Every structure is written in structure tokens, then in C-alpha cells.
Structure 1
């Protein structure tokens, strides 16, 4: 999986201290989850964000933001931000702050692993 490890460190620094954050390899890159819900990720050297429906249209108008489209069909509520859009740490923090508002309001995801079946 190829993703920008320097960007991963920058995101970790911005999210440091948030006890609800975990990491998972997804989408051919690295994703950061808040209480089990995807918050953001790194695909190659770009930032992937989960905006939700209300923020989506607003954030899509920002410079360097575009629809997330891996399959020829854009995913509503998901954006990609080009590297120029978060070259400064203050810019990266701004993007993360925007999506944290949406994702932190979602209910926690329950671990969906099946429990072992009890035997008589």
C-alpha cells in the first residue's frame, strides 16, 4: 500500500490526544477512524475526507477539493484534497476540524466480529 507516511505523521500530530482515533489500512492507503467511523485517510499523497451530506457541497467549493471517485461514480459525502490544499499544518488542521464536527456526532460503530457460538 503506497501512501505518504509524512502526511500520516502530520495527521497523527493533529489528532494526538483524541482517544477515539484509530488507524486502519483501507482504499489502498491509510484511514483514520473516530470511534470506528471513518474520518479521513491518505490515498497516495492526497487527503481523503468524510464530510457528510451537509458539509459536502460547501467543502467541495474550496480550492484543491474534488469529489472522491475511485470507480467512475463519485461518492457523496467524501472528498479528496490535493496536496497544495494542506501544505501548511494550519491548512491540514482546518480540514480535519471541519470533518471532526460531522464524524464525532455519529454513533460509535460496534465491533461487528461474531462471537464464538456457545456449545452445549
Structure 2
């Protein structure tokens, strides 16, 4: 599964001021900030680090399990594309979660 090129470019532009590191992961492209993965772009959308207690995330009809069959509380997949109106908010939410973690060396 390859990363959606348009979505990848949009996420890259949203994270530009964070100096993210890009790494191929999960068949797509992951964006790491301060050593922690914030989001990953795949063929089917976006994998997002989330606050599992956030009501908005829980209620979002586009949100699905990060990896079906393997519960991951702090991750959700979102069926979005480069034109998704609230993409900046999803990326900002992921950054908020990363900032709450201790930096990796």
C-alpha cells in the first residue's frame, strides 16, 4: 500500500514548521516530531495519534481502528484525503498529543 501523494504533500505542508522526520512505515509514510510518530499517510487515509478520551475523535464517523484486530488506544485511522476540510485540526490534534510526550533522544 503506497501513501496517497496528494495527502502526503498536504500533511507535509501542515507540519513544515515542526521539522518532521519522514520514515516509510506501515506501507505508507510516517511523520515523526520530536522522535514520536504523529501521523502516517497511507493509501486509504491517515493514521493519527489521538487522545483516546477526546469526544470529537470517538464520535467522528471517519475514525476507525488503527490496526484491526489489535487494539491501539492512542491511534485511529481516518478516511480522509488532501481536500478534507478539517485535516489541519486532525494534524494539530496529533501534534498536541506528541507534545505531551517526553522528547526522544
Is TM-score (shorter-chain normalized) higher than 0.5? yes
Where 1:75 maps in the other structure, the secondary structure is coil
- Tell me the matched-pair count: 105
TM-score, normalisation: structure 1:
0.76
C-alpha RMSD of the superposition = 1.9
**Deviation at 1:16?**
1.4
TM-score, normalisation: structure 2:
0.86
Question: Residue 116 of structure 1 aligns with which residue?
Answer: none
- Structure 1 CA distance for aligned equivalents of residues 71 and 56 of structure 2: 16
RCO greater where, 1 or 2, for CA within 8 Å and sep 6 or more? 2
- Which structure 1 residue ranges, 4+ long, deviate > 4 Å from structure 2? none
Structure 1: 5+ residue stretches without partners: 111-120
For residues 56-81 of structure 1, what are the alpha-carbon distances to aligned partners after superposition, in whole Å with 9 as ceiling and x for unaligned?
Answer: x64021121112124x2221111000
Structure 2: 5+ residue stretches without partners: none
2:83 to 78, 84, 87: 87
Q: Which has the larger radius of gyration?
A: 1
- Structure 2 CA distance for aligned equivalents of residues 66 and 60 of structure 1: 9
